[in-house]
A = this chain, B = another copy of it.
Amino acid sequence: MTWLIRFGVSMEKQLLERFDRILQKEGYTSRSEAIRDLIRKNIVEGEWEHGETVAGSIMLVYNHHQRELLEKIMDIQHDFHDVIISTQHVHMDEDNCLEIIVVKGKVEKIKNIYNALTALKGVKHTSLSRATTGKKI
């Protein structure tokens, strides 16, 4: 069972008004929810900075015509199978594939697989996206 706590926050009137205008523009219906989101974002950044257990995703854009690239991508994924949850594949056009690998584990290990995939010839772009396991936030 989740236990809610309510507490008071004081703020300059003009700061609060400016924040409320942003929330309205972004579609928030609750000021508390927006503040919780800022706090959770701050926590997740800390999880990554301090090398904790996190979730995230690695996105690759690559040319599948590159010789032996598919095998190399598959090999690396098997080397790191214990941090990989699943993958999703999109055929962008005749040449380009986009693949997303959902990962969960220690930050250091996730950065290692990210580097290994980035260094492959034929992989045009990689990005590492930081999320959280959602536990305790």
Binding site for B on A (CB under 8 A): 2-16, 18-19, 22-23, 26-44, 46, 55-57, 59, 61-63, 85-86, 88, 90, 92-93, 95-96, 98, 100, 102, 104, 115-116, 118-119, 121, 124-125, 127-137
Chain B residues with CB under 8 Å of A62's CB are 134
Known: A31-B9, A33-B121, A88-B88. A93 touches B133 (CB 8 A): yes
Q: Cβ of A4 and Cβ of B10 under 8 Å apart?
A: yes
- Grouping DSSP codes into helix (H, G, I), strand (E, B) and loop, the A interface class, with mixed when no group exceeds half, is mixed
Q: Cβ of B57 and Cβ of A43 under 8 Å apart?
A: no
Known: A9-B7, A43-B19, A88-B102. A135 touches B96 (CB 8 A): yes
Known: A4-B10, A115-B27. A129 touches B59 (CB 8 A): yes
Known: A19-B43, A121-B30. A98 touches B102 (CB 8 A): yes
